[in-house]
Structure formats: structure tokens, C-alpha cells
């Protein structure tokens, strides 16, 4: 995962062809091996799982984790790592700047990943883990030696003698020719198996490819922001260049950090009047559903503590307090409290006031009648849509075991061409999310 910005993802889809995967996801996120062929990363000999895991949030206190890192979050991150491996996902992406020492209380993501690998290998010596990390092109770094020095520091934090993939995190203000030379040196010295770039424009990508090609070294990947609701790589020539040159596109923000919200057709999203932004989960979600059975099924999709689900007038609230209580930590615990919450909802929320800021990301309650048969959990449709684009390896960030198992459910099935095109058409009507500007350098 590279540096980027956005919000929290919910998407639903279904179909009989994926029943086994979804049954696993719905039963407490039980872990099960997902049989998936690996794919070659560009023209290199390196093979990775079709889906990876981004480790930006692990140890970070500058953007993630509400500015705090503690033992509970440490255990959750480790559970995400183990659950990913249990589900056959072995490709992990980190960077030297994730969990930077400049952030108070942070622990470097590379250090955590290295610790998790060591502990897992003690239990399972045969386990295979593919590690990708990144070089930060900071202004004071110059020349090829800075790349090698940073790589060796990363290897020390990871506790490894080499990594599978080393990437330039972004294009530097200057010195980029030397950075590319440094990547080539790292391959020749046996410190890495493959090299790539991140946030590179088409022009920079072609230049890096040609420079490495002269040394007989393939440029394996370009890691960029790419999702169903952010398709800039298709518009700026990056995706086409990757396909033409045989460079794998690694997609960070593949679910737009969650901006594929559960909202379309029968759902309506509201914002509490007077609310002010508060980090990532400042909005209040009200899903107004037309059917109680549909509501019950959707509850299984809404596992974040800040989600609250209310049904329409047709639902007998007095007999179903669990419709609310199972979703929010601050839910009412009695029928009377639940009825009071309903009155408060009617008084404080305007049903004619949709939150326009979030409206642009409301595309993945896709063919919602299918929910009544079999749901797919958060983000799986968005991830599968990317997999259907070919030559793309998504790396969603998993903060806990539930998310890791959910993401694994995007494998083992495939959207039809018709569904892929329909999703693209629907997404085209939504204002795209904002990207981190480094890709425009």
C-alpha cells in the first residue's frame, strides 16, 4: 500500500457460483485455505498471490489507529497477518516510512512484519511469506548508494537477508536516475529478487523501464492508487503502459480506504445536521431498508462499531431490538431504549438530507435484490472487479483478522464480463475520490 487518502468500505454482491467462499465469510470469518494460482510480477521470476495485504496501518499513529498504538492493536495486526496466511495470501507490502519514528508512539511497520514472520516461522517453519517494501525518495537522499543504504536498514528491521520486491515509493524531486541505478544494484547484489516503482506516471514508468532494461533487469511493478471509484490509471496511460511493457500494476487503496459504501437503490445515507468531521468515522450511517429480512441479512455486513441500522415503519421494532443492538457498541439494550432511539432518529435526522460528500461513493449495493439470496462481505466486489482487469494485484490494508478473512473472500470466484461492465458504468456516474498528489509528480 502506498501513501494515499480517503474513508471505510462496504459492498455487497452475490451469486451461486461463489457459495463456498461466502459461507466461510459468514460463519465468524473462519479461516480456510484459498486455493489460488500465483501470478508472475511483471517480467521478473517472482510469483505472488493474486491478492496481497498492505501493512501501512500496522504500528502507525500519524494517520491510522486514532493516533495511538497499543497491545490490542498489535494483537489485531498479528491476527490479520496470520489469518491472511491461513487463507493462502502470502504477499505483504510495507515501507520504511510506515510507522515512522516521527510519529509519537509509532512502531515501524517493517519491524512488526519481521516480528510476525519470525513468530509464525517458529510455529510453521515451512511457511512462505513474500515481502515487498519501499524506499522513500526524501529530498536529502541522493544517488544509488542511498537506495542500498535504505534497503539494508529495511532488511535489518525486517530481520531478513533479502526481500522479494523493493520499490521506489514515489518519484524524487531530484536524483531519480540514481535511484533507478540503486534498484539495479540491489538486484545484482542479491538483496532483492525483483524491483518496482510506486506512484509513477506513464513517462517516468517508461524511463525507468528502459533504464533497467539496459542492464537486463525487468521492472516488475508500479504501485498506484486504483479502484472501482478511482480509475485514474486508466485515464492517464499508466494502466495501458503497464500492460504494454509487461509491468504488473499493484493497486493500493483498492477499496478506496472504504469509500465504496453500502449505499445504492434501497439504501439512503444521512448526515446528522451540525455534525463536524472527526477523523474517519465522523458520519452517522442510517440505512433505510424496505424489508426486515433484508435488514437482518445486512446486519452481517455492518460489523464496524460506528454503524447503526434502522428499518422502516413496517418493521416491528419492539420485537426486534437486536436489529440495532448487534451493530453498535453504544446501542440501546432494552426495547424501551430502542423505541426511544427511533424517536430520536425521527427528530434529529432529515430524511430529505442525503450527505452529498458520501453520495459520490455510493455505488456498491449492486443489484441489491441478490442480497436476499447470498451476500458478499465488505470490499469483495471492489477487489474482484480489480482482479477482473487482469495484470492487477490489489493490496487492501487489513487491520484485524475479520478484515483479512473478508478480503480473502474476494478470491475463488469472478464477476462476469457483464457485471464488470455494469459496475464500471455505475461508477462512472460518481465523482471520483481524491488521490494523493505524488502520482502527479
Model pLDDT for residues 179-222, shown as the tens digit of each residue: 999 999 999 999 999 999 999 999 999 999 999 999 999 999 99
Quote the pLDDT of residue 419: 78
Q: Which residue has the higher pLDDT, 153 or 412?
A: 153
Quote the pLDDT of residue 10: 29
**Which one of 65-74, 264-273, 342-351 scores highest in mean pLDDT?**
65-74
106 pLDDT band, cuts 50/70/90, is low
Q: Which pLDDT tens digit goes with each residue over 120-137?
A: 999 999 999 999 999 999
Q: Global pTM?
A: 0.72
48 pLDDT band, cuts 50/70/90, is very high
Contacts of 88 (CB under 8 A, 6+ apart): 33, 34, 35, 36, 49, 408, 411
Quote the pLDDT of residue 53: 97
Residue 412 has pLDDT above 60, yes or no: yes
Residue 285 has pLDDT above 90, yes or no: no
Instruction: Give the chain's domains with CATH numbers.
Output: 16-259+373-434 (3.20.20.100), 285-353 (no CATH)
Quote the pLDDT of residue 45: 97
Residue 43 has pLDDT above 90, yes or no: yes
Instruction: Give percent of the chain with pLDDT exceeding 70.
Output: 58
Quote the pLDDT of residue 423: 78
166 is catalytic: no
The active-site residue, picked from 63, 98, 209, 353, is 98
Quote the pLDDT of residue 46: 98
Q: Which pLDDT tens digit goes with each residue over 322-349?
A: 333 333 333 333 334 444 443 443 333 3
Quote the pLDDT of residue 436: 60
Amino acid at each position: 500500500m502506498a501513501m494515499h487518502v480517503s474513508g471505510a468500505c462496504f459492498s455487497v454482491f452475490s451469486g451461486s457460483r461463489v457459495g463456498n467462499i461466502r459461507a466461510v465469510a459468514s460463519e465468524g470469518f473462519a479461516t480456510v485455505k484459498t486455493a489460488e494460482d500465483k501470478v508472475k510480477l511483471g517480467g521478473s521470476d517472482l510469483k505472488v498471490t493474486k491478492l496481497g495485504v498492505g501493512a501501512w496501518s500496522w504500528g502507525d499513529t500519524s494517520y491510522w489507529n486514532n493516533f495511538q498504538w497499543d497491545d490490542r492493536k498489535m494483537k489485531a495486526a498479528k491476527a490479520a497477518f496470520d489469518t491472511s496466511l491461513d487463507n493462502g495470501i502470502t504477499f505483504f507490502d510495507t515501507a520504511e516510512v510506515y510507522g515512522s519514528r516521527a510519529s509519537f508512539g509509532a512502531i515501524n511497520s517493517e519491524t512488526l512484519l519481521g516480528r510476525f514472520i519470525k513468530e509464525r516461522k517458529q510455529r510453521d517453519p515451512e511457511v512462505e511469506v513474500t515481502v515487498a517494501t519501499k524506499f522513500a525518495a526524501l529530498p536529502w537522499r541522493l544517488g544509488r548508494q542511498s537506495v542500498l543504504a535504505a534497503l539494508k536498514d529495511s532488511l535489518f528491521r525486517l530481520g531478513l537477508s533479502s526481500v522479494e520486491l523493493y520499490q521506489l515509493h514515489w518519484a524524487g524531486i531530484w536524483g531519480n536516475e540514481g535511484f533507478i541505478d540503486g534498484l539495479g544494484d540491489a538486484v545484482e547484489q542479491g538483496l532483492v529478487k525483483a524491483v518496482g516503482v510506486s506512484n509513477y506516471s506513464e513517462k517516468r514508468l517508461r524511463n525507468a523501464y528502459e533504464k533497467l532494461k539496459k542492464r537486463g533487469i525487468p521492472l516488475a511493478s508500479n504501485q498506484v492508487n486504483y479502484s472501482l471509484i478511482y480509475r485514474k490509471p486508466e485515464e492517464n496511460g499508466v494502466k495501458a503502459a503497464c500492460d504494454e511493457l509487461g509491468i504488473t500494476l499493484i493497486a493500493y487503496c483498492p477499496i478506496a480506504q472504504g469509500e465504496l459504501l453500502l449505499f445504492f437503490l434501497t439504501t439512503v445515507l444521512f448526515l446528522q445536521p451540525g455534525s463536524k468531521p472527526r477523523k474517519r468515522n465522523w458520519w452517522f450511517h442510517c440505512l433505510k431498508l424496505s424489508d426486515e429480512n433484508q435488514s437482518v441479512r445486512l446486519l452481517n455486513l455492518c460489523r464496524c462499531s460506528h454503524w447503526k441500522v434502522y428499518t422502516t415503519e413496517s418493521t416491528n421494532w419492539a420485537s426486534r431490538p437486536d436489529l440495532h443492538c448487534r451493530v453498535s457498541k453504544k446501542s440501546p439494550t432494552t426495547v424501551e431504549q430502542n423505541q426511544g432511539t427511533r424517536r430520536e432518529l425521527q427528530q434529529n435526522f432529515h430524511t430529505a438530507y442525503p450527505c452529498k460528500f458520501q453520495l459520490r461513493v455510493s455505488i456498491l449495493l449492486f443489484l441489491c435484490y441478490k442480497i436476499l439470496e447470498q451476500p458478499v462481505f465488505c470490499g469483495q466486489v471492489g477487489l474482484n472487479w480489480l482482479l477482473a482487469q487482469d495484470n492487477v494485484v490489489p493490496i487492501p490494508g487489513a487491520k484485524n483478522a475479520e478484515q483479512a478473512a473478508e478480503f480473502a473472500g474476494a478470491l475463488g470466484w469472478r464477476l462476469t464480463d457483464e457485471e464488470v461492465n455494469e459496475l464500471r458504468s455505475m461508477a462512472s456516474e460518481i465523482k471520483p475520490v481524491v488521490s494523493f498528489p505524488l502520482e502527479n509528480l
